[in-house]
Amino acid sequence: MNLNYIDIIGTIASITSVIGFLPQIYKNHKTKSVEDLSALMLLNFLLCSLAWMVYGILTDSYYVLVTNMACVCASSLLIGQKMYFQR
C-alpha cells in the first residue's frame, strides 16, 4: 500500500471528523441525558453529511464519501439518543 501525502491528509481528516462525535455519544450513554443537545444542530449536521455524501459520490471522492458515511451514522446515533433519553 503506497500512501501519498494527499491520502495521509484525507485519512487524518476522516479519523478526526468522526472521533469528534465519540465523547458526546459516550457521555449521553453514561449519563442517560441529552438535555443540552440541540435537535436543530443534530438535524443540520445529518443533512450536511448527507449532502457531502452525495458530493463524494458525484465526484468519486472516497475520503469525502467514507467520512460522511461515518458522520451520518454518528449523527443518527446522537439523534436516536436524543429521542430515546428525552422520553
| Per-residue pLDDT, 10 | 85
- What is the reported pTM? 0.86
Number of domains within the chain: 1
Q: Which CATH number is 9's domain given?
A: 1.20.1280.290
Grid cell locating 17: 471528523
Question: Buried (b) or exposed (e) across 51-64, using 16+ Cβ within 10 A?
Answer: ebbeebeeeeeebb
Residue 57's alpha-carbon distances to 1, 3, 9, 63, 79, in angstroms, are 23, 22, 19, 10, 24
Provide the pLDDT for residue 62: 87
**In the chain, alpha helices (H):** 5-19, 22-31, 39-58, 62-85
Q: Which domain range does residue 79 map to? A: 5-85
Q: What is the pLDDT of residues 28-70, one digit of tens each?
A: 999 999 998 999 999 999 999 999 999 999 999 988 999 999 9
